[in-house]
Amino acid sequence: MRYREEFVVKPGTKLHLDRIDPAYKGRHESHEKAAPEIAASLEQMDRLQNLLYADAGQSLLVVLQALDAAGKDGVIRHLFTGMNPQGTRVVGFKQPSAEERAHDFLWRVHRNAPARGEVVIYNRSHYEDVLVVRVHELVPREIWSRRYGLINDFETMLAANGTRILKFYLHISPGEQLERFKQRLDDPQRQWKISDSDYAERKLWPQYIDAYEEAIERTSTSAAPWFVIPADHKWFRNLATAQIIADTMDDMGLKLPAPRVDLAEIQRKYHAAADEHAPAKR
């Protein structure tokens, strides 16, 4: 089963996150059963990223958004570590710096957009400016509500410049989030990820869901579609996301560029050099 059509939020449709099962796992019973498909999609992503980097005519932007503990870091670690680091970047967007606050809200995002030949992953993104700022009332409604149109214009411009855009909302349940918080508390290797805001933000769950639903509804376009990925099962989250990325890259028509040199002349020089250094016959 291919998940691109199943999980896409089609432009103009109404989104009800409470009708999407975060524990959905398709036809697969377990990680073990899904492992061959995950491996195949990762291999396809790696192969196609090599073509993207070599061709340097297009680029790919992957946007990851989610509530805490839904797995943005996990997706990055499991899906992109096989790619060539020369052509892959991860950009994390935290609270804006003083310099960033002195510019428009898209400035820090645009300056980190992928160059031709690159894959760039946004760990959080410009969508924080219609999510966190809305939920915490950091700016007035009349300001953040205008940003949907600005975001659509920005993403349309990137797409017109050869950037394929995929946006993923990792959909986790409150119960699974709480279990993952507990795992962090119990694991010394992950306790550094615990923050004071983790449990405080849970109280705002309904407000965040409202904000995500409106943001996704108003900014899922043909040029920059949103996908809602069930994320309670980490392995299924990885499978669906990897498959969508691989299928999209496959549609980009990526090819190795033609050689930029005269191969016949290079071959002639090689054979001449080989003959020069060949051992003398007795």
Give the tens place of pLDDT for each residue, 15-58.
Answer: 999 999 999 999 998 999 999 999 999 999 999 999 999 999 99
138-147 contact pairs (CB < 8 A, 24+): 147/105
Residue type at 210 in one-letter notation: D
CB proximity list for 83: less than 8 A, separation 6 or greater: 45, 46, 49, 119
The pLDDT value given to residue 19: 97
Q: At 14, give phi and psi (nearest 5°).
A: -90, 135
The pLDDT value given to residue 259: 79
Going along the chain from its start, the domains and CATH numbers come out as: 4-277 (3.40.50.300)
- Residue 112 CA to residue 119 CA, distance in Å, equals 11
pLDDT per residue as tens digits for the range 179-215: 999 998 888 888 888 777 778 899 999 999 999 999 9
What DSSP character marks residue 139?
Answer: S
In this prediction, what percent of the chain has a pLDDT beyond 70? 97
What is the band of 105 on the pLDDT scale with cuts at 50, 70, 90? very high
Say whether pLDDT at 260 is over 80.
no
Q: Which two tokens stand for residue 185?
A: 């508390």
Tokens 């392995």 found at: 235
Query: Does the predicted model carry a pTM greater than 0.85?
Result: yes
The pLDDT value given to residue 169: 98
- Residue 182 CA to residue 185 CA, distance in Å, equals 5
Longest dimension (CA), the chain: 90
Tokens 């199943």 found at: 6
